[in-house]
Structure 1
């Protein structure tokens, strides 16, 4: 058993926004291992440190507990997943410029999820690449957690968009 730290962000239903009641229901549902953040009206952030035999188990059990406590809430994001160059540099213990040089010099650097002034990458892909290609040592629990939250975000996004569109595009993107 290990401790896995991750964050689940939700949008609350219009008729379910009483912070005191939400916190009480979360505790009753088993979310006593989460720090609750309600900084934006209608939003909820839960930072879990959950003990489990795997990151998948930790994240899935937290998702189930939150669904039991707040069934009308909609998952916005699971993290750690999307990161920028500065985040990657901090996690790798090097400068942002060093990561940028690696990205430019190596054509096999992971593709970004968003490319632009502020590019975004999936943390698990970058950590794997840095470990395999460059020998950077990362916390294996962080990598495992990043893979689990990436899985959640992929499923969440695929459910959000029409399955017909995904089916049509599948062949074009292969």
Structure 2
């Protein structure tokens, strides 16, 4: 199965030759990723990776990047942190529909990671909530990727209270 996800990194090597960096990534197995080098000191890799599971796809991509750029620091694995517009796009409904759902189910709708003028949720939690309601078609591949990227980001942030032990053991060595 193919899984699509993005890994965003900070490049900590000053004066890194970006063309050489892209070559190293390709040589280390990241030839299934589109590489974005638009922001100074940052690199984003959008993978479309074949694997038996989303976890296998994401973990292997993390390992490949770590091999190619050992000093790179993971910023974020996506899709994970999203606003209502992002969720609406993934599910195929309007933002207004998502906002109405959130407001009318305030006690059961997933709690945002950040609440403010722009609130942010874990995509996996909102998708699982929508799936449990049964009224919305949730793409299981996207849900599996979102669950995996959420675990990666939680591991990165060391929120061990929500992180499954097997993911913590497997992911910790992959972070700079």
TM-score by length of 1: 0.88
| Structure 1 unmatched runs, 5+ | 160-174
- Output one character per residue of 1:46-91: Cα deviation in whole Å (capped at 9) or x when no partner: 0000000000000000000000000010000000001101111122
Question: Are the counterparts in 1 of residues 13 and 71 from structure 2 also a CA contact under 8 Å?
Answer: no
Q: How does 1:118-133 map to 2 (within 5 A)?
A: 118-133=118-133
Runs of 4+ in structure 1 displaced over 6 angstroms?
none
Partner of 1:135: 135
* Alpha-carbon offset, residue 134 of structure 1: 4.3
**Rg comparison, structure with higher value:** 1
Partner of 1:171: none
Q: Which moved more, 1:32-41 or 1:97-106?
A: 97-106
* Alpha-carbon offset, residue 15 of structure 1: 3.0
Partner of 1:49: 48
- Aligned-residue CA RMSD (Å): 1.1
Inter-partner Cα distance in structure 1 for 2:117 and 2:12: 33
Inter-partner Cα distance in structure 2 for 1:94 and 1:116: 22
Q: Which moved more, 1:5-14 or 1:90-99?
A: 90-99
Inter-partner Cα distance in structure 2 for 1:152 and 1:136: 26
Q: How many aligned positions are there?
A: 158
Partner of 1:172: none
* Alpha-carbon offset, residue 16 of structure 1: 5.7
Q: Which moved more, 1:53-62 or 1:10-19?
A: 10-19
- Output one character per residue of 1:154-173: Cα deviation in whole Å (capped at 9) or x when no partner: 000118xxxxxxxxxxxxxx
What secondary structure is seen at the aligned counterpart in 2 of 1:53?
Answer: coil
Inter-partner Cα distance in structure 1 for 2:74 and 2:15: 15
| Structure 2 unmatched runs, 5+ | 160-176
Partner of 1:93: 92
Matched, 1:148 2:148: yes
* Alpha-carbon offset, residue 17 of structure 1: 2.1
Q: How does 1:11-160 map to 2 (within 5 A)?
A: 11-15=10-14, 17-106=16-105, 107-158=107-158
Q: Which moved more, 1:128-137 or 1:113-122?
A: 128-137
Inter-partner Cα distance in structure 2 for 1:34 and 1:13: 21
